[in-house]
A = this chain, B = another copy of it.
Amino acid sequence: MLDDRKLAVLRAIVEDYVSTNEPVGSKALAERHNLKVSPATIRNDMAALEEEGYIAQPHTSAGRVPTDKGYRLFVDRLSQVKPLSSAERRAIETFLAGAVDLDDVVMRTVRLLAQLTRQVAVVQYPTLTRSTVRHVELVPLNDRRVMLVLITNTGRVEQRVIELPEVVDETRIAHLRAVLNSCLDGCGLSTVPELVSDLPERLPAEDRPAAATILSVLLETLVERHDEKIVFAGAANLAGADFSTGLRDVLEALEEQVVLMRLLGETSSDTPSALTVRIGSENPYLRGTSVVATGYGSGDNQLARLGVLGPTRMDYPVTMGAVRAVARYVSQILAAS
């Protein structure tokens, strides 16, 4: 149905349209790419491609524009991920290396990605699920309040102020802290609930009410942040582009954690580090935009996802290259720390 030449025509259409933002006609195609055939032949091929739904014309007698289906075929079969230049690689490396803490890593990553792709970059904070407890700290604030600080091996810090049901003196708090740490240190977060389930019973009766309160907050912290914080950057890059769905909707989606989460998608369990590309109508909630995303994290333990969001008319090979490269570098950084 679609011979090699027709595919070549489709590729040429996508490339030209992405770079010029104008419907591309048969004559221009024949000139710019050396397809060795006449415009008339190309017109026939285009008619076939349109018949199959890969391209469309905005109006009768205008050039052709790729459809979502056309872009899909392009990324699946007609293009290769474009690696970054060595200058870009160096820039990434030095830029990410300067990070001082987890917040900083995430911040730098998202900005870097936005700048590199000239799209909106989105980065999900490393998930707690696979992390392990590095330390639990209880800081007495006054005799009725303590602050709970949970530090994970990814450098993440969670904090909560806890109102205790009764006055508890500092030495007992310290004891509780010691017990908690000996019990949880190094354990996976997902195992915490079972590990602490029988903890109150092992304590002197007088400590149990306070311990119960603290534990409930601890558990709450774990589940509450299960669906994670997401940050974005590069909204300015939206200013030029045009979205079928209107700029406003896109900006709103960016500030809705839940929607953003859905857009980034789930790491598919079989090939966790694969690039995911969702084109236009393939996206939930936000049709008219494309999302290029991937999981990151060292090796088999995928921490979270990152990617970019832009108009369907984007340079997929370059964008995919940038996303993949940044994901690798940030994985590396996180693994090292």
- Is A161 located at the chain interface by the 8 A CB criterion? yes
A76-117 contacts to B, CB under 8 A, are 100-102, 111
Q: How many residues of A contact B (CB 8 A)?
A: 34
Do the beta carbons of A246 and B239 come within 8 Å of each other?
yes
Q: Mark A145-162, 1 if CB is under 8 A from B, else 0.
A: 001010100010101110
| Secondary structure dominating the interface of A | mixed
Cβ 8 A contact of A236, one of B100, B239, B251: B251
Do the beta carbons of A238 and B251 come within 8 Å of each other?
yes
Known contacts A101-B160, A135-B147, A149-B157; is-contact A251 B239 (Cβ 8 Å): yes
- Is A240 located at the chain interface by the 8 A CB criterion? yes
The CA of A135 and the CA of B138, in the complex, are separated in Å by: 10
* Residue numbers in B under 8 Å from A239 (CB-CB): 246-248, 251
Among residues of B, the one whose C-beta sits closest to the C-beta of A247 is B239
- Is A141 located at the chain interface by the 8 A CB criterion? yes
The CA of A264 and the CA of B82, in the complex, are separated in Å by: 42
Q: Mark A214-244, 1 if CB is under 8 A from B, else 0.
A: 0000000000100000000111101110000
Each complex incorporates copies of this chain amounting to 2
- Is A337 located at the chain interface by the 8 A CB criterion? yes
Do the beta carbons of A137 and B149 come within 8 Å of each other?
yes
The CA of A327 and the CA of B100, in the complex, are separated in Å by: 31
A120-176 contacts to B, CB under 8 A, are 134-135, 137, 139, 141, 147, 149, 151, 155, 157, 159-161
The CA of A238 and the CA of B155, in the complex, are separated in Å by: 36
- Is A255 located at the chain interface by the 8 A CB criterion? yes
* Residue numbers in B under 8 Å from A240 (CB-CB): 248
Among residues of B, the one whose C-beta sits closest to the C-beta of A157 is B159
27 A-B pairs within 8 Å (CB atoms) are namely A100-B160, A100-B224, A101-B160, A101-B161, A111-B255, A134-B141, A134-B147, A135-B147, A137-B137, A137-B139, A137-B149, A147-B151, A147-B155, A149-B149, A149-B157, A151-B159, A155-B159, A157-B157, A161-B337, A234-B255, A235-B235, A235-B251, A235-B254, A236-B249, A239-B247, A239-B248, A239-B251
